[in-house]
Amino acid sequence: MNDFGRNMLKMNDFGRNMLKMNDFGRNMRKMNDFGRNMPEIA
């Protein structure tokens, strides 16, 4: 049970990191849109 609980916590950290990666990907997409809009502003 103890090992199982520890593995569950690791899975939880993994899920949290996946969400961070997802946010990172979303931010990258925003930056990409920003870069596309730059020529129009200039």
DSSP state of 1: -
Tell me phi and psi for residue 8, to 5 degrees: -60, -40
Q: Answer whether residue 41 shows pLDDT above 80.
A: no
DSSP state of 42: -
Q: What is the pTM of this model?
A: 0.51
Dump pLDDT digits (tens) for 19-37: 999 999 999 999 998 888 8
Question: What is the C-alpha separation between 14 and 35, in angstroms, rounded?
Answer: 31
Calculate mean pLDDT across residues 5-22: 92
Using a pLDDT cut of 70, give the percent of the chain over it.
Answer: 93
Across the chain, what does the average pLDDT equal?
Answer: 88
